[in-house]
């Protein structure tokens, strides 16, 4: 796993660079993302460790993947992320976790996640930009997918696809560990 300080510094550097490239002032990015101007300043100055929700809102507002926002190595055309360098972005008190494995811009942000949720674990997400699609492939256990307030049971071996422009979440309501792979595709930002 990469050093958290390296990730924080990469987030600060990439956030400022991408914000500037897109011509967004601090106030403009705050308005687009719903993240306060003060929080953005703190992130760009490496004075805070923001929540996953904040990082997601900033990435969505900038039209990039979380992987690009957290990328600490821009030196290669082929990006290989060794297992020990994947970025864990969610964890539960019981030991569950969501790990960003890799991501790219094709033509909009595309992310690959690995999730492990122990019995009773739950994670909720705000709505993503319209046109965002997710694919969830359950490897073990049963996923309770909540989309816009409606529950959908996704058993092991099944794959769910859905538009993630609605509030959504993942739960393990079972008695066994849940493991699933998640792909998130966000449309490119309107120019």
Strands (E), 45-177: 87-91, 97-105, 109-117, 122-125, 133-140, 142-147, 150-155, 159-163, 168-171
On whether the CB atoms of residues 121 and 92 are closer than 8 A, the answer is yes
User: Does one domain contain both 13 and 106?
Assistant: no
Residue 44 pLDDT level (bands cut at 50, 70, 90): very high
Claim to verify: residue 175 and residue 141 sit in the same structural domain: yes
Alpha-carbon Rg for the chain, nearest whole angstrom, is 16
Residues 93 and 139 in one domain: yes
Per-residue model confidence (pLDDT) at position 106: 64
Domain that holds residue 146: 83-185
Peptide bond into 107 cis (omega under 30): yes
Q: Does 110 have pLDDT greater than 80?
A: yes
Could you identify the residue written with the tokens 């969505």?
60
Residue 76 in domain: no
**112 plus 172 within the same structural domain:** yes
**132 and 164 in one domain?**
yes
Neighbours of 7 (CB within 10 A): 18
Of the candidates 101, 95, 130, the one whose C-alpha atom is nearest the C-alpha of residue 113 is: 101
Flag whether 178 is in a domain.
yes
Does residue 127 register a pLDDT over 80? Answer: yes
**Which residues, 6+ apart, have CB-to-CB distance to 178 below 8 Å?**
115, 116, 117, 118, 121, 138, 140, 141, 142, 143, 172
Q: How many domains does the chain have?
A: 2
Within a domain: 75: no
How is residue 122 written in tokens?
């739950």
Considering the domain architecture, whether residues 58 and 108 belong to the same structural domain is answered as no
30 and 59: one domain?
A: yes
Q: Are residues 23 and 100 in the same domain?
A: no
Looking at the predicted structure, is the pLDDT value of residue 145 above 80?
yes
Alpha-carbon distance 178 to 191, whole Å?
39
- Report the CATH number that the domain containing residue 116 is assigned in CATH: 2.60.120.10
């Amino acid at each position: 796993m990469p050093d958290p300080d390296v990730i924080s510094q990469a987030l600060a550097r990439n956030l400022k660079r991408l914000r500037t490239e897109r011509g967004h002032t601090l106030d403009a990015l705050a308005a687009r993302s719903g993240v306060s101007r003060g929080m953005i300043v703190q992130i760009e100055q490496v004075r805070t460790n923001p929540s996953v929700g904040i990082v997601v809102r900033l990435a969505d507002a900038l039209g990039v993947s979380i992987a690009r926002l957290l990328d600490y190595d821009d030196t290669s055309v082929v990006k290989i992320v060794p297992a020990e360098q994947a970025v864990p972005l969610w964890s539960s008190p019981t030991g569950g976790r969501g790990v960003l494995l890799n991501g790219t811009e094709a033509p909009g942000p595309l992310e690959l996640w690995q999730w492990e949720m122990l019995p009773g674990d739950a994670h909720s997400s705000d709505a993503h930009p319209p046109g965002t699609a997710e694919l969830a492939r359950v490897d073990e256990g049963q996923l309770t997918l909540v989309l816009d307030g409606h529950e959908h049971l996704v058993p092991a071996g099944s794959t769910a696809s859905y538009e993630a422009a609605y509030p959504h979440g993942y739960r393990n309501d079972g008695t066994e560990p849940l493991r699933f792979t998640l792909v998130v595709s966000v449309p490119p930002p309107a120019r």
